[in-house]
Structure 1
Amino acid sequence: MSSIYKTYNQDQVEELLSNYLIDSWSYSRVSTFVRNEKEFEMRYLYNERSKSSATTIAGQAYHKALELYFTNLMEGIGTDIADMQQAAFDHISDQSADIWKISKTRPTIQDCINDAVAIANKGISNFLSEVKVYLSQIKRVLAVELRLKAWITVNGVDIPLPCYLAIDVVVETIEDKRAIVDHKLRTAFTDEKEVKFTIGKQAITYVKGYESEFEEKIDEVWFVENKTSKNKDGSPQLILNKVVMDDSTRRLYEAILYEPLRRMILAVNDADYVYLINDNDNFTDKAEIYEFWAKTMLAEIEEFNITENKKPLIEKRLKKIRDASLATATPRVIRNFKKYAQEFIPYDLTNKDMTNQEKIEHVLRSFGIIAKVQHTFDGYSSSSYLLEMNAGTSISNVNKYRLDIANALNVPNVRIQKDLVVYEGKSYLTIESGKKGTGILLWDKSKLKDHKIPLGVDNFQQTVYWDLDNHSTPHMLICGATGSGKSVSIKSTVEYALKAGIHEIYMFDPKYEFTSYNSNPRISVFNEIENIEEEMEKLVAEMEKRVKEGISTKTLVIFDEFADAVANSKKGKELDIIEEVQVGFYAPKKIQGMFGEEISDPIPKMGMKVTGRKNSLEENLRILLQKGRSSGFRIIAATQRASTKVITGDAKVNFPVQVCFRVPKDIDSIVVIDEPGAESLNGRGDGLIKSPEYLGVVRFQAFYKD
């Protein structure tokens, strides 16, 4: 039976979803609702997430390793333990500091990371040792890591919210059956009696969702538990619990699922529904739940991370809750209760009524480091905290607890400057913490000073410049991932250059991001690689001419995505210059002349031959960088790819000014500016600059020009 909601168009779907406090449901949401309604409200209505334990993150990492294994298996490729461990480690290392839940047994983020790696590795080792549990029953893998949103029918009722499913693996068995496989990493096996009652609801959810999307019947659902603690009796670490989806089993599990699902749907359709706290729930931090309950009676809508389309409904609900609570208890009483609840949330400073300065000091003091935040500066996308260190304290020790500081501030990461900052005649260690943007730093023509191009403003409210007249800073390298602000910064620089009176601007734009400048008579834009190569050759010739004639004229060259252009440019024999030249003489012939038979003059023999080789695009760029500064050429080279193959040591020598916006990994930041930090930036123009004009690496917010 197909759900009626599958026939709805986009407008009808949006109208339908506008009546509900959530946009989709899943098995985990239903099970959370049944176990503890207040936790369901906290996590799925208000998007207040709990911290994740090392065990939870290890389980996610284990799934990543198995995703790699089964993806390769589907393609007929083997996977060794090293590759699986690397996949797991990459997932763990990608987790931001603000999601880790520290505890008495794991007091630092590094402790959590170490334990997560150890747990995941145990799971991977168990899996490979006993993988026959899977392979002995699988003919072929059909799909891996399916992410679906399906409209489904349960117990004969069309559910008015789409079901979100994350299916680990779909296989065809040796018995020619189709099965869904779900992996679970456990510290102990689930009790056999409990398994029979719990896995059925999850199994039928997977089956109904998959069959709705693909219209292919699922015969079985396998739940494979992997126990990380070693069995002393040598029994298997992997247990496969199989649910055979025959008609009677389907009807039974649909009926069992329908009741809690129906109750949950009715609740999220009612903005006034009261979600109850289950005090007997051992899976939820009771203090955390009560702290959230108090917050809903005091906080404004902006204090919650709620999607825009749900804000009107949640705001209406929040107002009613607040009005009702204030009628029976004063704000002072509620705040005191909230503070009391917070006292029982161990090691989570994000919920404490402390300033960020106090949180930083507390974290460091917990590890025996005495420091005082003496000054705080709020920038557009980050804050800087200047720490005065106690005498005898090793400053290098602070960096070890960078993630713990970030965890306390509830941000993904913090940056600790490598060099000390001198402020008002005193040296301080600086910690930079990203924050939610408070606004856009609009382009301001008044910031321009002669040929000093404003790039942005640092956290001390000082304008950061690129001086075109300074011969020690002629060229600038810019790197940043998509959404980091790289292109916007380039556009801002171009606009300032025009205002500064730069009459010659060349833009090499292989990705067509700056075509709006085509109509500007002072800017020449080139997009096709052939045109870029030709124009670069002309610029080198112009530079050589200027050098010979002693001419210096300011010319700005912007080469966006230069790495891609260089990769696609002519190389090797494609650069050969082939001309028609004389290659010899044809043999003389006997001809009849006036005086009888004569020998003809030798006739030149012509042929096509390689007479030289043009410079490649990369060579011409290097020549222009090295020799162009004295004749007025100023170059910006930009790329998304922070790789040593792209940004070599030789290349960086030619770019004294290096700007790095947000990049995926700390190694990318090191490639560009020789130190980590850019991986923790916020994006949208939050950048780091390294220049001979500044001491150390400076964090700044780039200007935005519409």
Structure 2
Amino acid sequence: ALSLAAPDVRIEAPIPGKSALGIEVPNKEVSTVYLREILETPEFQDAASKLTFALGKDIAGNPIVADLMKMPHLLIAGATGSGKSVCLNAIICSLVFKAAPSEVKFLLIDPKMVELITYNGIPHLLAPVVTDPKKAAGALKWVVSEMVNRYETFSSLGVRDINRYNKLLSSRDPRQHQPLPYIVVIIDELSDLMMVSPVDVEDAICRLAQMARAAGIHLVIATQRPSVDVITGVIKANIPSRISFAVSSQIDSRTILDLNGAEKLLGRGDMLFMPVGAIKPIRIQGALVTEKEVEDVVAYLVKHGEPVYLSEFPSPDEEDADKEVEYGDSLVPEAAKVVIDAGHASVSLLQRRLRIGYSRAARLMDILEAKGVVGPYEGAKPREVLMTVEQYHRYFGR
């Protein structure tokens, strides 16, 4: 690096397939790779999978495309301004170029409220772009229930996955049976969701990552904070395909890729792509799609088709409002379960388990006492729990 006057070098030891060491020296003039270049290549055009998307070009200038079916989920991390959101835009644009709205549906979750909101109104959407982190947890729960419903349908027909199911339907009368679309769930900032409802979000992501592939449901998750409290061990274990853009330290690089190297990337689309089953990551210059191009694609799609949103898509606000009318607070059923499982009741217990403030926990305790779940206040002693598990199931219908 000193002799070459290079900003950062990566050492590839050894080069795969050769008995030699490789030293990657960044080009002083970074050439821009445009998304259109990759979309026009035979690698993308001739790909059979409807979930093929363009990534960019490798260090030799070869176009790199990937198939979300084979991944089957993708984790993207990198510091602010390193190219994550452009990569997400490239993935979405690639998929809408490859698949019709009846073949692929998107559920877009964008807590930042600015990156994915542009796609509102395209016919590929299952629901309007979700921007509220609380609603996002409900949206992920809906995806889990859709996965379970699909597996029950597959089981009743004796098929193993979505491809066999759709082939079976096409062999019957195609006018009576609509094929199931693939569902791609794209989360632009996981850390925001993990701060608001970590338990619900992690549980839903883990269930989907473990089981959703055969049901035709795929996750693409991006975060700018690749720390262990956001990308937990359970999430990492279930999402083997990963992309790392430039990060600030070796620790962040090891968190996302399990090896060093991402801290030496140049930013602006420079990435390391670790596909499932690979021993070493591939260095890629990511494809650039401009805001104007995204707006043109969205305008074209909106002009040629209307989205059919799910009528049964859950609205957590409505669910909470119903619970609030019925119980006085939407957390009453959860609070009752916490104290019954613990065998004793205290305000501090509710604060810890439900991650709420003192005033709300104290109000919940008053409601539980009024409903006969817990006994009266007894000074320093914890309150007695009066309701049994059977009574809880009868009363709360759970």
TM-score (norm 2): 0.60
Kindly provide the amino acid, as one letter, of the partner of residue 485 in structure 1.
G
Query: For the residues of structure 1 that align with 2:189 and 2:231, how far apart are their CA atoms?
Result: 12
Change (3 A) 1:544 1:645: same
SS in 2 for 1:519: coil
Change (3 A) 1:705 1:450: farther
- Corresponding residue number in structure 2 for 1:468: 68
Q: Does 1:654 align with 2:230?
A: no
Change (3 A) 1:519 1:419: farther
1:514 aligns with one of 98, 113, 116: 116
- Corresponding residue number in structure 2 for 1:446: 40
- Corresponding residue number in structure 1 for 2:76: 478
Kindly report the root-mean-square deviation, in angstroms, between the aligned alpha carbons of the 2 structures.
Answer: 1.8
2:11 aligns with one of 398, 413, 416: 416
Query: For the residues of structure 1 that align with 2:134 and 2:122, how far apart are their CA atoms?
Result: 22
- 1:694: Cα distance to partner? 4.2
- What whole-Å deviation, never above 9, does each CA across 1:612-635 have from its counterpart, x for those lacking one? xxxx12211211111111101111
- 1:419: Cα distance to partner? 4.1
- Corresponding residue number in structure 1 for 2:26: 434
Contact 2:243 2:273 (C-alpha < 8 Å) held by counterparts: yes
Please give the residue correspondences for 1:633-644 in structure 2 after superposition, counting only pairs within 5 Å.
Answer: 633-644=217-228
Contact 2:76 2:221 (C-alpha < 8 Å) held by counterparts: yes
Query: For the residues of structure 2 that align with 1:410 and 1:439, how far apart are their CA atoms?
Result: 19
SS in 2 for 1:545: helix
Query: For the residues of structure 2 that align with 1:518 and 1:436, how far apart are their CA atoms?
Result: 39
Contact 2:206 2:234 (C-alpha < 8 Å) held by counterparts: no
- Corresponding residue number in structure 1 for 2:283: 699
- What whole-Å deviation, never above 9, does each CA across 1:569-593 have from its counterpart, x for those lacking one? 276xxxxxxxxxxxxxxxxxxxxxx
Please give the residue correspondences for 1:533-572 in structure 2 after superposition, counting only pairs within 5 Å.
Answer: 533-550=137-154, 552=162, 553-569=181-197
State, as a whole percentage, how many aligned pairs show the same letter. 33
Query: For the residues of structure 2 that align with 1:638 and 1:408, how far apart are their CA atoms?
Result: 37
Kindly provide the amino acid, as one letter, of the partner of residue 515 in structure 1.
I
Larger Rg computed on CA atoms:
1
Query: For the residues of structure 2 that align with 1:409 and 1:570, how far apart are their CA atoms?
Result: 47
Change (3 A) 1:617 1:649: closer
Please give the residue correspondences for 1:365-376 in structure 2 after superposition, counting only pairs within 5 Å.
Answer: none
Kindly provide the amino acid, as one letter, of the partner of residue 634 in structure 1.
H
SS in 2 for 1:651: helix
- Corresponding residue number in structure 2 for 1:669: 253
1:620 aligns with one of 201, 204, 210: 204
- What whole-Å deviation, never above 9, does each CA across 1:393-424 have from its counterpart, x for those lacking one? xxxxxxxxxxxxx22222222111244232xx
- What whole-Å deviation, never above 9, does each CA across 1:658-705 have from its counterpart, x for those lacking one? 110000011111111111111111111000011136451110111111
Please give the residue correspondences for 1:245-284 in structure 2 after superposition, counting only pairs within 5 Å.
Answer: none
Kindly provide the amino acid, as one letter, of the partner of residue 543 in structure 1.
M
Contact 2:12 2:22 (C-alpha < 8 Å) held by counterparts: yes
Query: For the residues of structure 2 that align with 1:651 and 1:570, how far apart are their CA atoms?
Result: 12
Kindly provide the amino acid, as one letter, of the partner of residue 6 in structure 2.
V
- Corresponding residue number in structure 2 for 1:684: 268
Contact 1:421 1:430 (C-alpha < 8 Å) held by counterparts: no
SS in 1 for 2:145: helix
Query: For the residues of structure 1 that align with 2:122 and 2:205, how far apart are their CA atoms?
Result: 24
Please give the residue correspondences for 1:306-455 in structure 2 after superposition, counting only pairs within 5 Å.
Answer: 406-422=1-17, 426-444=18-36, 445-447=39-41, 448=44, 449-451=47-49, 452-455=52-55
Kindly provide the amino acid, as one letter, of the partner of residue 96 in structure 2.
L
Kindly provide the amino acid, as one letter, of the partner of residue 431 in structure 1.
I
Query: For the residues of structure 1 that align with 2:133 and 2:279, how far apart are their CA atoms?
Result: 38
Kindly provide the amino acid, as one letter, of the partner of residue 671 in structure 1.
T
Please give the residue correspondences for 1:192-207 in structure 2 after superposition, counting only pairs within 5 Å.
Answer: none
- What whole-Å deviation, never above 9, does each CA across 1:326-348 have from its counterpart, x for those lacking one? xxxxxxxxxxxxxxxxxxxxxxx
Change (3 A) 1:570 1:486: closer
Change (3 A) 1:418 1:427: closer
Contact 2:205 2:235 (C-alpha < 8 Å) held by counterparts: no
Kindly provide the amino acid, as one letter, of the partner of residue 144 in structure 2.
V
**Structure (1 or 2) with the greater strand fraction:** 1
- What whole-Å deviation, never above 9, does each CA across 1:167-210 have from its counterpart, x for those lacking one? xxxxxxxxxxxxxxxxxxxxxxxxxxxxxxxxxxxxxxxxxxxx
SS in 2 for 1:483: coil
2:56 aligns with one of 424, 449, 456: 456
Kindly provide the amino acid, as one letter, of the partner of residue 139 in structure 2.
E
- 1:462: Cα distance to partner? 2.4
Query: For the residues of structure 1 that align with 2:252 and 2:279, how far apart are their CA atoms?
Result: 21
Query: For the residues of structure 1 that align with 2:60 and 2:87, how far apart are their CA atoms?
Result: 20
- 1:431: Cα distance to partner? 1.1
- 1:509: Cα distance to partner? 0.5
- 1:648: Cα distance to partner? 2.7
Kindly provide the amino acid, as one letter, of the partner of residue 66 in structure 2.
W
Query: For the residues of structure 2 that align with 1:416 and 1:657, how far apart are their CA atoms?
Result: 22
Kindly provide the amino acid, as one letter, of the partner of residue 72 in structure 2.
P
Contact 1:510 1:561 (C-alpha < 8 Å) held by counterparts: yes
- Corresponding residue number in structure 1 for 2:131: 527
SS in 2 for 1:669: helix
- 1:534: Cα distance to partner? 1.6
SS in 2 for 1:455: strand
Query: For the residues of structure 2 that align with 1:476 and 1:647, how far apart are their CA atoms?
Result: 12
SS in 1 for 2:3: helix
Change (3 A) 1:695 1:474: same
Please give the residue correspondences for 1:72-221 in structure 2 after superposition, counting only pairs within 5 Å.
Answer: none
TM-score (norm 1): 0.35
Contact 1:450 1:500 (C-alpha < 8 Å) held by counterparts: no
Query: For the residues of structure 1 that align with 2:283 and 2:29, how far apart are their CA atoms?
Result: 15
- Corresponding residue number in structure 2 for 1:82: none
Change (3 A) 1:546 1:463: same
- Corresponding residue number in structure 2 for 1:99: none
SS in 1 for 2:25: strand
Change (3 A) 1:639 1:437: farther
Query: For the residues of structure 1 that align with 2:21 and 2:212, how far apart are their CA atoms?
Result: 39
Consecutive unaligned residues in structure 2, runs of 5 or more: 155-160, 163-180, 291-398
SS in 1 for 2:120: helix
